[in-house]
Amino acid sequence: MRFIPHTEADIEVMLKTVGAAQLDDLIAHVPQNLRDTAVINLPDGRAEAEVADELTQLAARNPGATGFISFLGGGYYRHYVPAAVRAITARAEFATSYTPYQPEVSQGTTQAIFEFQTLITQLTALDVANASMYDGASAAAEAILMAHRVLPKRHVVAISRALWPDYRATIRTYLSALGTLELVDLPFDLATGEIDRAALDGLATGELLCTVTGYPNAFGVIEPLAQIVELTHRAGALAIAVTAEPLALALLKPPGALGVDIAVGEGQSFGMPLQFGGPGLGFLAGRSAQVRQMPGRLVGQTTDSEGHRAFCLTLATREQHIRRERATSNICTNHSLCALAATAYLSLMGRQGLRELAARNVELAHATRAALEAAGVRRRFTGQCFNEFVVALDAPEAALAAAERQGILAGISLANDYPELGGNLLISVTEMNTPVEIERLCGVLAGGR
Partner 1 sequence: MATADRLKAARADQKPAAGETQSAPPIAASGVALIFEESSPGRRGVDSGGGADSAKHALELLGDDLCRTDIEGFPELSEPQVLRHFLRLSQLNFGQALQFYPLGSCTMKYNPVLNDEMAALPGFASLHPATPPHLAPGALELIARMEAALAEITGMDAVSLAPAAGAQGELAGLLMIRAWEEKRGKVRRKVIIPDTAHGTNPASCTLAGFEVVVARSGPRGYLEAAEIRRLLSDDVAALMVTNPNTLGMFEPEIQEIAAALHERGAMLYLDGANMNALLGVAKPGDMGADIVHLNLHKTFSTPHGGGGPGAGPVAVKRHLEPFLPHPRIVKRADQWEFDRDRPDSIGRLRSFHGNFGMLVRAYTYILAMGGDGLAQASRHAILNAAYVRKRLEAHFPSATREPTMHECVLTHDLDTRTGVSTLDLAKRLLDFGMHPPTIYFPLVVHGALMIEPTETESLETLESFIETMERIYAEALEDPAMVKAAPHSLKLRRIDEVTAARRPVLRWNAR
**DSSP symbol at 395:** S
Among 352, 405, 419, 436, binds partner 1 (CB under 8 A): 352
**DSSP symbol at 221:** B
What is the enclosing helix (H) or strand (E) of 211? strand 208-214
* Mask for 293-332, x = binds partner 1 (CB under 8 A): ----xxxxxxxxxxxxxx-xxxxxx-xxxxxxxxx-xxxx
Q: Is 191 in the site for partner 1 (CB under 8 A)?
A: no
Spatial CA neighbour of 113 closest among 343, 354, 345, 348: 343
Q: Is 381 in the site for partner 1 (CB under 8 A)?
A: no
Q: Is 405 in the site for partner 1 (CB under 8 A)?
A: no
Q: Is 153 in the site for partner 1 (CB under 8 A)?
A: no
Q: Is 39 in the site for partner 1 (CB under 8 A)?
A: yes
In angstroms, the first-to-last Cα distance of the chain is 59
Q: Is 3 in the site for partner 1 (CB under 8 A)?
A: yes
Among 8, 153, 177, 198, binds partner 1 (CB under 8 A): 177
Spatial CA neighbour of 263 closest among 224, 300, 294, 298: 294
- Listed ranges 123-131, 205-213, 227-235, 435-443: which one lies at the site for partner 1 (CB under 8 A): 123-131
Question: Please, which residues have CB within 8 angstroms of residue 34's CB and are 6 or more apart in sequence?
Answer: none
Q: Is 265 in the site for partner 1 (CB under 8 A)?
A: no
∠ CA 293-299-302, nearest 5°, is 115
Instruction: Give Rg (Cα) of the chain.
Output: 25
Q: Is 436 in the site for partner 1 (CB under 8 A)?
A: no
Binders in 41-80 for partner 1, by CB under 8 A: 41-46, 48, 51-52, 54-66, 68, 70, 72-76, 78
**What single letter denotes the amino acid at residue 295?**
P
- Listed ranges 185-193, 204-212, 230-238, 290-298: which one lies at the site for partner 1 (CB under 8 A): 290-298
Q: Is 363 in the site for partner 1 (CB under 8 A)?
A: yes
Give yes or no for a contact between 73 and 409, defined as CB atoms under 8 angstroms apart. no
Among 134, 188, 270, 389, binds partner 1 (CB under 8 A): 134
Q: Is 398 in the site for partner 1 (CB under 8 A)?
A: no
Give yes or no for a contact between 427 and 256, defined as CB atoms under 8 angstroms apart. no
Question: For the packed helices 435-447 and 396-405, what is the interaxial angle rounded to 10 degrees?
Answer: 130
Closer to partner 1 by Cβ: residue 120 or 204: 120
Q: Rounded to an integer, what is the distance from CA 240 to the centroid of its chain?
A: 16
User: 290 exposed, middle or buried (CB, 10 Å; 0-12, 13-18, 19+)?
Assistant: middle
- Listed ranges 109-117, 153-161, 373-381, 389-397: which one lies at the site for partner 1 (CB under 8 A): 109-117
- Listed ranges 153-161, 271-279, 374-382, 435-443: which one lies at the site for partner 1 (CB under 8 A): 271-279
Q: Is 243 in the site for partner 1 (CB under 8 A)?
A: no
Among 200, 222, 442, 444, binds partner 1 (CB under 8 A): 222
